[in-house]
Structure 1
């Protein structure tokens, strides 16, 4: 099991390399090291504002950049044609991509173009040392079981991974000895029937709980939507944002952009505070990579306490205001 090529399809937003690119490059490096393989990261954009060499410090042996005006805004047709061209030329064994909005749209079309399989929304990846196959683990049957999927025949083996599922590696000060290349792309591949008419940000003005160091989440234990104001106040003091469990979102107490879990977003903040959340497996899968977990719940047998670093068992309507006031005094906020 040697010499395998691992490709990462990076994501560029408004000229900047998105953090998920570093997470997947680091994971690809880990997989490649287990079998003596190499890592290539591909960046498609209308123009890069960041230095692509930074990915050489995160584990890539090579970074391929393709810049063209048609790629400045999301264009699935052009992206699929360019990526299919590059992957056919290179013949990688494994292709990893982010399970973002664009990744979830582009990768199925790319897999169909290459006539191979695709495992979406993976939560675990590892190499089978006996067969050399990529073991792709993802939730199935509503998150009640974890399925491990293989692609034994078709190549490349393709998988998408949600942002924050894996931690980005510490970037080395020294370059890996790799290189940045700019492959020649036939001009006709940039042709597209798609015309982008404009771009509008989501309802939250572009805020994203996946990018925050502190997330304060609430569940049905809050009893009513107005109770989320307590979480907003606490999150504001800590410089973080507010998350929610699926039941709270389904009750329309918070919008979907705040949902944490398998059917929402995967977050990995330095601190995750869960208030009134029982700890269903679907929710735990969305915050399991948090650095420090604080749980507030009146049920001493709640599953959330099994993953918490600090558990506060009691009435959240008593605990949260006291916690907020204590933090307010500590930070000197008025």
Structure 2
């Protein structure tokens, strides 16, 4: 198992590779070509340059998060095959550069959504927070500007300008788009790209919708165990797998993260670890990673992963703003470092208490 750290690149991230390198339990980086528009082909020289930058720091590029999916693919527009072809070429380039993990999501129009990016807590920290009532009050056309003003001058990963420029058009389309149509569009995409992944032993890891329910009348389908099982069954290739994001799935109290891990264990290709506290229906605050600070039992989650034989990459996700750090919301150094050390400590204890048979 590899504890990794997400890095947004020299142009976008306040956290530097030399600081990540000082975390003795972190073995690699999860990154991407930030600023690359969704749908564009990635080239080997770009990927190699990213790899070499990371390797010069003494770390390794262990996965890409994310190769974003163009909206035409999600919506099933007439030009989707052109963008799927670009995605296939990108996977070839990644495979030839030795990348074996690719994360993506299939959230229409909007990526992850929060209502507040720096909600103060009594202890002086600040966290990302979701409030369904406030999100609905803001509406789809004001949401991005509202969040951008809270982003400390940093980018909002996953919120692609070219997608947001088409909000009205896409909202009109998706109001008449069913979950079944969106599911079929995902399957069409996966059937086209999994042969490339199989050729290069690339593990695809779809990220759950965040939060895991529909927004503004827009369907979302990567939301629960039943839907995840259906996606995996529709394209049964070993390359077609999931990212278990404890915070995304756990945001819906009806989702049993332990059960999801147990039932999908053979197809889990990546793990995000974060915790949250339920405030009320459709309302939650993110917390530190520790079990005692939130409503998710991180020890049980890590033990279930360990018992299932998981040996891939995992990383801390969405840390608090602590000790006066100014960073991309959720992605500062300090609390992610604390979270990753906590994850490593749990895993070390499990491996010594329950040694695996060789």
TM-score between the two structures when normalised by the length of structure 2: 0.27
Higher helix fraction (1 or 2): 2
* Larger RCO (alpha carbons 8 Å, 6+ apart): 2
Q: Which has more radius of gyration?
A: 1
